[in-house]
Each structure stands twice: as structure tokens, then as C-alpha cells.
């Protein structure tokens, strides 16, 4: 449940840099311009106004989430949503996953597929007109509580991106968890919407573009995770992170042969970090049930594997947090040193994967087939490290195809 809330909040936060700014940003700016000048400093007045506005919007989300969660609890009681394998729960998960994948693809390639057609009782006609008129009247009021009430009405506006979170709230099957899901989504969108309202988005076009693309990749990833969610998600997320990290590490040296990976290297690296975080929470939730003292009863091999995984996550975290153009320029040569920590992180991640084992990639213990698959993973990882070596390319008389790192 905690992992679900974190994923929903992440979805809201990164999605807000693209979808919410485009759809609701003009509305937030319009509300800002509708306010009369007060004696207090303008920025302070605007901060208070938009804080209440977004608080009202988030509370509105939470109330809708509570209602949807309550409806889900009724369906659970009737057996329609009982268990992960129930037909309705699977259908809701599939619908949510497909919607998120669609939104992610539209965010990454706007001209690739059409926007998702959205049906909403207030999206057109008299209902939408009345809601718009009500919001216009409210924005002209000067009572202190007006922004919160206005935000509450704003939270009822039709939004396709919001629907995915609402379906997730209904799937929770509990009034309080449904409210918490929508509250997490609202809190995720709040920083950007608050910033747009107060400063009309002071983020540079370049940085917002980076976050917009990153939001698309995260939305796409969460959609895929939603579709594939089973007990094997612990393995899927871990090996997915490993795969993305490998692709990110070979993107630069092979770019003269294939430039596609280099174009998305940053997204691959950050995607590996996001999946590693998801893998960590899945491990805590499914394997340990959030009982850290249970690690004391693990086999020594698994303990060492777990430690290797923790160290790998620690090493790639600085690289993920500095994956912005401004930080790259500001850190200079230190930026590359930080990102080179991804190499020992890969080694530790492979050790973690092999020692912990999985149902399909094998493990050290068990049959010869299992051991062979585990060793194959190690060989592939060694191949990644060799591809990064200029000496290897030179020894094979292929140095002209090798792209060296930038010199600072």
C-alpha cells in the first residue's frame, strides 16, 4: 500500500510538469490575475491564495477518492474485488495500466498517437458551463476561504490524467486508502501548480522539457508495472533496473554504431533508479512484510546479496539526482566522477541478483540450469564493462567506432 502511494505521488509530481501545466496552468494563472492587489507584498498574498487554492483542490481529490474507495469496499464485500485474481480488480488494473501507457506515449511522442478521448459528465454541455460560471464568480470573491472553496470546485473538473489515479483509488477497496491515494496524487501535483500560480512558472523551458520527458517515461513505466503486477514484481522491477542500467552504460561507447541509446541515456539511467526504488519497496512489502528484523533470519548468502543491493542503490542515487543540464555544467568534471559510480553499482547489482536469485533467471543454489542462467547474467554484465573499455575496441581494431567520454 505504501509503495502504491509513493508511485501515485511520483506520477502526480512528474506528470504535473507536462500535463497539469498545459491543462490547468492557464487556469491557475487566471485565478492569480483575478485577485485584487492587497497591502501585503504581492508574492506573499499570491502564495497564501494559491496555497489555499491547491489545498482545496487536494481535499476535493481526497473526498472523491474516499467515495471511490468506499464503492470499492462494497465490491470487495460482494466478492467482485476480492483478491488480486478477481476479474474486476484485474480489469481495473489493466484499464489503469493502459491509460498510463497511453498518457506516457503522448507525453513522449505527441504526434505518435492521438490523445485519449475522455468522457465526463461535466466535460461538455450545461454541466461544464455551470461549473465554469461558478468558478468565475468564486474567483471574484474576497473572503479568506474563497480560494479553498474555489480549489474544491476545481478538483471536480474533468481530467484524463486524474482518472488513472481515481481508478487506482477505487481499486484500493477501502474508504481511507482511497482517500490517501487521491491525497498522494494531489500532493504530488501541488509543487508545480503552486509554482505556476505564484510565479507563472519560473522554470526554464529546457528544465521543464527535461522533466516533461522524464514524466513521460515514469508514467509509461508505472503503466507497465501496473499491467504486470504479480508476486513476481519483485524480480521484474529489479531485473528491469539492471537492464536499463546496462543500456545506459553502453549508450555512449556504441553511439557511433547506434545513436538511439545515447539520445535516451538520461531517461534510461533515471528509469533504472526509479525501478530500483520500486524493487526496494516491493522487496520490503512482499518478502519482508515491512519487518526489518526478519532479515536476521535470512540465509547468509541472501544477507550478503541484500547488502550488495543496498550499496548499489546508494551508489546510483547521486547520479539520478544530478541528471540535469544545470548540475552537469555546475559540477564540471565532478559530474562524470559521480556518474562513474554507476559502474560499481552495476557490479553490486549483479551480485545482488545472483545471490538473491529469481524464479526465471536462476540462482547459485539449485540445479545446473539455474546456475547456468545466473552465470549468464554475470557474463552479460562483464560484456557491458568490456564494451566501455577503449582497450578492448583498440584490440579488436574497432577503435574508430568507439566514442570516448568528453574531456573537461
Give bridge partners of residue 362 from the DSSP assignment.
358
Contacts of 137 (CB under 8 A, 6+ apart): none
Cell of residue 122, nine digits: 461535466
pLDDT of residue 282: 75
Predicted confidence (pLDDT) per residue in 290-341, tens digit: 677 777 777 788 888 889 999 999 999 999 888 877 787 888 888 889 999 9
Q: What is the pLDDT of residue 200?
A: 46
Q: Which residue has the cell 584490440?
A: 395
CA distance 65 to 71: 10
CA atoms in the 13 A half-sphere facing the CB of 364: 11
247-250, Cβ contacts within 8 angstroms, sequence gap of 24 or more: 248/272, 248/342, 249/342, 249/343, 249/346, 249/384, 249/388, 250/384, 250/387, 250/388
- 207 contacts: CB under 8 Å, gap ≥ 6: 324, 325, 326
The pTM of this model reads 0.56
Q: Which of 207, 318, 228, 229 is nearest to 269 (CA)?
A: 318
What is the Cα–Cα distance from 215 to 224, expressed in whole angstroms?
14
- What digits encode the pLDDT tens for the residues 51-63? 787 888 888 888 8
Per residue in 236-295, pLDDT tens? 778 888 998 999 999 999 988 888 788 878 878 888 887 888 788 777 776 676 677 777
* d(C-alpha 146, C-alpha 144), whole Å: 6
Amino acid at each position: 500500500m505504501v509503495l502504491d502511494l509513493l508511485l501515485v505521488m511520483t506520477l502526480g509530481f512528474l506528470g504535473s510538469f507536462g500535463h497539469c501545466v498545459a491543462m490547468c496552468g492557464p487556469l491557475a494563472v487566471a485565478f492569480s490575475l483575478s485577485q485584487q492587489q492587497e497591502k501585503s507584498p504581492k508574492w506573499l498574498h499570491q502564495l497564501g491564495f494559491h496555497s489555499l487554492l491547491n489545498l482545496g483542490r487536494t481535499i476535493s481529490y481526497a473526498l472523491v477518492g474516499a467515495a471511490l474507495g468506499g464503492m470499492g469496499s462494497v465490491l470487495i464485500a460482494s466478492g467482485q474485488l476480492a483478491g488480486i485474481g478477481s476479474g474486476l480488480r484485474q480489469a481495473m488494473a489493466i484499464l489503469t495500466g493502459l491509460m498510463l501507457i497511453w498518457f506516457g506515449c503522448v507525453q513522449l511522442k505527441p504526434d505518435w498517437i492521438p490523445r485519449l478521448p475522455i468522457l465526463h459528465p461535466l466535460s461538455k454541455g450545461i454541466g461544464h458551463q455551470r461549473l465554469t460560471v461558478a468558478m468565475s464568480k468564486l474567483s471574484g470573491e474576497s473572503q479568506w476561504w474563497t480560494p479553498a472553496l474555489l480549489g474544491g470546485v476545481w478538483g471536480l473538473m474533468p481530467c484524463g490524467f486524474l482518472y488513472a489515479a481515481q481508478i487506482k483509488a477505487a481499486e484500493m477497496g477501502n474508504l481511507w486508502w482511497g482517500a490517501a491515494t487521491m491525497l498522494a496524487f494531489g500532493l504530488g501535483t501541488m509543487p508545480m501548480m503552486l509554482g505556476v500560480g505564484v510565479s507563472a512558472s519560473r522554470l526554464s523551458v529546457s528544465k521543464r522539457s527535461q522533466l516533461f520527458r522524464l514524466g513521460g517515461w515514469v508514467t509509461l513505466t508505472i503503466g507497465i508495472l501496473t499491467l504486470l503486477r504479480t508476486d513476481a514484481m519483485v524480480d521484474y522491477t529489479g531485473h528491469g533496473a539492471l537492464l536499463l542500467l546496462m543500456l545506459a552504460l553502453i549508450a555512449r561507447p556504441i553511439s557511433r554504431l547506434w545513436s538511439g541509446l545515447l539520445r535516451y541515456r538520461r531517461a534510461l539511467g533515471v528509469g533504472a533508479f526509479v525501478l530500483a526504488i520500486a524493487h526496494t519497496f516491493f522487496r520490503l512489502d512482499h518478502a519482508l512484510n515491512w519487518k526489518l528484523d526478519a532479515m536476521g533470519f535470512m540465509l547468509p548468502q541472501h544477507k550478503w546479496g541484500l547488502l550488495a543491493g543496498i550499496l548499489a542503490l546508494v551508489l546510483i542515487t547521486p547520479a539520478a539526482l544530478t541528471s540535469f543540464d544545470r548540475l552537469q555544467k555546475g559540477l564540471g568534471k565532478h559530474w562524470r566522477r559521480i556518474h562513474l559510480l554507476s559502474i560499481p553499482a552495476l557490479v553490486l547489482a549483479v551480485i545482488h541478483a545472483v545471490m538473491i536469485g529469481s524464479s526465471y533467471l536462476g540462482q547459485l543454489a539449485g540445479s545446473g540450469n539455474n546456475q547456468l542462467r545466473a552465470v549468464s547474467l554475470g557474463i552479460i554484465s562483464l560484456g557491458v564493462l568490456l564494451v566501455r573499455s577503449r582497450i578492448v575496441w583498440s584490440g579488436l581494431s574497432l577503435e574508430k567506432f568507439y566514442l570516448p567520454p568528453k574531456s573537461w
